[in-house]
Structure 1
Amino acid sequence: MSFDGVDYPDYGVTLDAVLALDAAGAGQTEAAAATKYVADNVGQYIGFAFGDTEFYAGAAAKTLLVAVAQGVDPTAFGGVDLVSSLEGLEQPNGRFSDKTAYTDYSNLIGQSLAVMALRRAGETVSPAAVEIIRDNQCTDGGFSLSFDASPCTSDPDVTAFAVQALLAAGGAGDSDAGQGLDYLAGIQGADGGVGGAGPTAAHNANSTGLAGQAFLAGGRSAQARAAQGYLRALQYGCTYPTAFRGGIAYDATAFTAAAVKGATVQDQDRRATSQALLALAGTPLYAVSGTGADATAPDLTCAAPTTSTTTSPTSTTSTTSTATSMSSSSTTSGPLDTGSATAGSGGTGAGSDGANGSDDPASSTPGSLAFTGADVSAFVITGLLLLLAGAAALVLARRKGVHA
């Protein structure tokens, strides 16, 4: 991310990119290097680098989820026991709260991530922690970002996280998760898109990607397929500048703007691509694993430019380029994407029972990939976007809360 013209590493988005590559079953050399980079700087993300009073629940939960997905020991991640540290942030009422001398930014996204991460780490999640999620469900079936908000206002992005957490903890028959899925299905447009809350209320790839993950987790195949179609329609093809190709635009406006000569990849391109890829790969957030994934991501191959010249005195030359290895079709009539055939176990999709064919929806075997590769620089996210572009070709053939 940039501030006053200076680029800084965004650890949260970097971890999102790692999860996306894991879901796509590709790019593990870069995913491991990025994971190591976060581990080497983990205090900057989860808080303790700023003093003994600081430890952030949402950031710790996302880091734990990635550590398990990457097969890195979560009890020694950058010298931190993420499991016991996260459990230490749980309050008597079950809420995971920030430890801070300043503002507590903990919210239902962090709560949901904590439930999913601890389940993936093989820990017993307290009934109270799950009940906190249920307590913040609004009458329309959606979930509120803030704890105990009055009035309760549903947020689509939050709902997608909450639904996946409830399914991870309670299985496919969870009635509250079902109501959350009904809410998301009710706000999904005819184009398959889903909007967020407030300024992100218009249909966009981030919210649609998150909703797509929830639909997959809950076995809502028709809605998941429609979400995938919306996301495909926003994928940058071979007519776009090289840096964009394979990525997912935030919305139609961004998709059009990227075609302008000299356009540069934006932060929202990185975020949209990483969150969309899980839905395209057919992998719910709680089931992501790098196990069996390929070390590299496939190249997005575009046809070589073809040139034709007329023989008239005013001859002109025309150049065209077409995609040969990706589909930019927005059709939703094909079978539901559930990961690449070459993705190994890193691309596990939800079956009709919404639990990946397992009685324990969060029991996917953690990956065994060790730390490899050199440290990446503060520009790691830009490099990961290129990997995500290739991974998107493989599966196709906003950060809510300050600390997450």
Structure 2
Amino acid sequence: MKAPIDVELNNFRDPSTAWLGNDGKWRVVVGAQNGDEGKVILFHSKDFVDWKVDSTPFFATDNTGVCECPDFFPVSIEGENGVDTLSDRQDPNFVRHVMKISYLSRLHDYYFLGNYNALGDKENFVPDVKFTGSSSDLRYDYGKFYASKSFFDNAKNRRILWGWVNESDAEQDDIEKGWAGIQSIPRQIWLDKNGKRLVQWPIEEVEKLHDKHVSITKQNLLSGSTLQVSGITASQVDVEVVFEIPEVENAEWLDPNGVDPQILCSNKENGSRSGKIGPFGLLALASEDLREQTSVFFQIYKTPNRYVGLMCSDQSRSSLRENLDKTTYGTFFDIDSTQNTISLRTLIDHSIVESFGDEGRVCITSRVYPSLAIDKNAHLFVFNNGTQSIQISKLNAWSMKQAQIGYEGNIACV
């Protein structure tokens, strides 16, 4: 595959997984740029050897720079099953299509839902909405998560997503460790029932690592209260909690237009500032005295025409160490006015905190490096700093066993 003349040669890379069209031709998209315009270029081939480029960009965005690691795949309109890109079931009444772009200029993975036009000589992807560069753009993950790729798992009829989670410490730390960056927990992805966004959830195989289990049910959290989750290894744990919230009509007012949720989360002072419904959530990798903590929390707001939730992951007190990236992450998501519960699942593994809010409709991944809250000195708490009481409808937490890496049965994989 050769770069077309209107693409910068040093910014032409990252071919996608190939898919086979109804016409018997293979197709691949490649990331590119021309000036400040990001492009996704389509190639097709009859024999997987000789490739021809489509003269019209398959997808393009202005003022974004190179489109790295493009990923393109169908998602079923109904149900959680994946759809194979080799399938001929490309009927728009059955599937939507997803274009994922890793924008190097932003180091985030954005995705677009839209229609795949495969008729005639010119094929392209038409997104439902254009890229705006604002917090309204859809992202897989609103924390550290980049250069992801997905694949179709034919054995279980699902699509699995994997992303790169880079470090938050200094380059010298990486040199001393001898490595930098890890892969996220594999996630199954599918289209939300409202058709407006994707849902992500840790693949079921993660549950094979579950070890000691504790649970809490029907526990009230009064305003300003904190409850420790004991009996598990808090430095390596899978915790899922369902909060029962008071009537959303009692939520405080917010006009989200022009409001950056990440800045709003940063102003929450580790979730300590009281609102009406929230902040409430988890204190992960916390020291006993709470001097170190990574706070993952929600707050509910009433807006001019809907209710929204704010999900935050606050790293500002994650470590006593200096010279770390302690950025606080956040995003808005819609709340059903009839909804009286909201869920949070967080997977914690020493330096990584992967959180799935509202049953996986919003995700935030963080890298943290506590100096006090490590190994047996790490603690996990549930908290509520809102003025209204919150109830833990149910909480389940499991210590996690070590994963066996590089082994399948008794045979070592090289």
Q: TM class by shorter-chain length?
A: under 0.3
* TM-score in terms of structure 1 length: 0.24
Greater share of strand: 2
Comparing both chains, which one has the higher relative contact order based on Cα–Cα distances under 8 Å and sequence gaps of 6 or more? Answer: 1
* TM-score in terms of structure 2 length: 0.23
Greater share of helix: 1
